[in-house]
Amino acid sequence: MIVGILKEIKVLERRVCMTPAGVVAMVQNGHEVVVEKDAGAGSGFEDALYVEAGATILDTPAEVYAKADMVMHVKEPQPSEYDMIREGQIVFTYLHLAADEPQTMGLMKSKSICIAYETVEKADGSLPLLLPMSEVAGRMATQEGAKYLEMPMGGRGVLLGGVTGVEPATVVVIGGGVVGVNAAKMACGLGAKVYILDTNLDRLRYLDDIMPANCYPVMSNPSVLRELVLQADVVIGAVLIAGAKAPKLLTKDMLKDMKDGSVIVDVAIDQGGCFETSKATTHEDPTFVVDGVTHYCVANMPGAVSRTSTMALTNATLPYALEIANKGWKKAVQENEALKKGVNVVDGKITFKGVSDAWNLDY
Ligand code: NAD
C-alpha cells in the first residue's frame, strides 16, 4: 500500500502523524511512504530523516492525496482538502465529525473510507488513540501550575516541592482519570502535598493503592472541594463525563476565597471547562487573572510539546496504521473490533452512530 503523510495545516499545529521510525516500520512491511515537504519540521523531524527512513518527499498535499492509498493526518482534513480526497481512499486521523457538519458532508461526498482516531475503542471502553494526549496534558498541567506559581509569572512565589524546613505547595486535582493521575504523579514526584478527587469509589480505591504517600485520594463533593481549594496553591481540573459538557465544580464563590497568586489549570476546557470562570485560551496568551487567581485554560495543551506529543501519538497509532496497510481496511476492521469502532464514513455513508445522530443522517 502507498501511505501518505500530510503536513498539518491548522494554525500552530506542529505535530506530525508519523515519525521517521514509523516510516521504517512501514517500509519493512513492504509499503511505500510519501511525505509532504516539511511535515515533521515542527516536531524536529526534518525531511532528510524521512528520506533516510525510506520515504519520498512530495511538495504539495495534492500530490500526496493523488498518490496515496491511505492518507494520515493528526487533525481533521480542512475544507481546502475535501476535494482532494479520492473515492475509496483511506483517511486515518482525528476527525471529531459529531462537532463538524461541513467536514461530515465533505467526507461523505468524497466516498472515501474515514477512520477516526478518537472513536477507536477497546473492549474495556478505553480510547487508545486519545489516551496518550491525556497523559501529555496531565503531566503538563502540573508543569504549568508550577511555572505560574513563580513570582515573575504573577504567582505567589511558592516552590511546588518546598525545601528542607519549608512546607511544600498544596495541589488539588479534580478528577482521577488519565489526566488527573498523570498530573498528580508529577506533583507528587516534585514533593507537593497532593489531593486527588473523584466521584468513583472504585477509582479512589485504585488510586489509594498505587499513588505515593504524599497523595490523598478523596471523594469529591462540593463541601470537600470548597475546603480543599482554600488550602490550594494549584488546582487542576481533569473531570470528564463522557459525551457531556464538563460540570462547573469550582464556582465563582469558591474562587473569591482562594489564595492570591494561586493557579488553576483547567484541562477539561476542551469540554467547556470545570471552573465557572474558565474560558478557553491559546498558547500565545495562555493565562488570565480573576480575583487574584491565575487561570491557565489552553484547549490544545499537547501542541506546546509537539515532539513528545508526536512520539506519544505515533506510538499509539502506528500499530493500527500497519494493520490497515498490511491487511487492507476491510479485513483489518473485521479482525480488530477496536479498529472497527473507528470507522466513521464508508463510501458516502455514515457508519458511526454518534455522527449520524448529530446530523440526522442515515446510519
Ligand atoms: P477520564 O475519563 O480518564 O477521567 C475523568 C475522571 O473524572 C473520571 O475518573 C471520573 O470519575 C471523574 N469525574 C467525573 N465527574 C467528577 C466529579 N464531579 N468530581 C470529580 N471527578 C469526577 O478522562 P481524561 O482522559 O482524564 O480527560 C479529562 C479531561 O481532560 C477531558 O475533558 C479531556 O477532554 C480533557 N483533555 C484536555 C486536553 C487539553 O489539551 N486541554 C488534552 C487531553 C484531555
How does pLDDT run across 87-115, given as a tens digit for each residue?
Answer: 999 999 999 898 899 999 999 999 999 99
Instruction: Report the candidate in 217, 50, 75, 211 with the shortest Cα–Cα distance to residue 133.
Output: 75
Q: Say how many CA atoms lie within 13 Å of 87 toward its Cβ.
A: 3
Judge if 149 and 267 occupy the same domain.
yes
The interface predicted TM-score (ipTM) is 0.99
Judge if 136 and 54 occupy the same domain.
no
Q: What are the residues whose beta carbons fall under 8 Å from the beta carbon of 93, sequence distance 6 or more? A: 17, 71, 72, 73, 74, 75, 76, 77, 116, 117
Entry pTM:
0.92
Ligand 1 within 6 A of CB of 197: yes
Phi-psi region of 94 (alpha: psi -120 to 50; beta: other; left: phi over 0): beta
Better pLDDT: 242 or 298: 298
The mean pLDDT of 124-139, rounded to a whole number, is: 96
Q: Give the pLDDT of residue 245.
A: 81
Q: Final residue of a domain: which of 299, 321, 350?
A: 299
Pick the most confident of 93-102, 190-199, 263-272.
190-199
Ligand 1 within 6 A of CB of 133: yes
For residues 344 and 116, what is the distance between their CA atoms, to the nearest angstrom? 6
Judge if 168 and 278 occupy the same domain.
yes
Out of 38, 47, 100, 270, pick the active-site residue.
270
Mutation choice for ligand 1 from 126, 134, 278, CB with most ligand atoms inside 8 A: 134
Domain assignment present for 325: yes
Judge if 145 and 283 occupy the same domain.
yes
Q: Give the pLDDT of residue 259.
A: 98
Give me the domain span that covers residue 162.
Answer: 131-299
Q: Residues of 35-53 as b/e, b for ≥16 C-beta within 10 angstroms?
A: bbeebbebbebebebbeeb
CATH code (residue 187): 3.40.50.720
Provide the number of structural domains found in the chain: 2
Q: Give the pLDDT of residue 12.
A: 83
For residues 169 and 282, what is the distance between their CA atoms, to the nearest angstrom? 26
Q: Final residue of a domain: which of 281, 299, 317?
A: 299
Ligand 1 within 6 A of CB of 300: yes
Percent of residues, the chain, with pLDDT higher than 70:
100
Q: Are β-strands 343-346 and 113-116 bridged in parallel, bridged antiparallel, or unpaired?
A: antiparallel
Domain assignment present for 126: no
**Kind and range of the H or E element at 319?**
helix 306-327
Hey, whose CA ends up nearest to atom 35 of ligand 1? 268
Judge if 281 and 314 occupy the same domain.
no
Domain assignment present for 97: yes
Q: Model confidence over 65-80: pLDDT tens digits? A: 999 999 999 999 999 9
Rounded to 5°, the CA angle 182-191-220 comes to 55
Q: Give the pLDDT of residue 10.
A: 87
Judge if 180 and 243 occupy the same domain.
yes
Q: Give the pLDDT of residue 243.
A: 64
Q: Which atom of ligand 1 is nearest to the CA of 200?
A: 11
Judge if 30 and 177 occupy the same domain.
no
C-alpha cell recorded at residue 183: 498530573
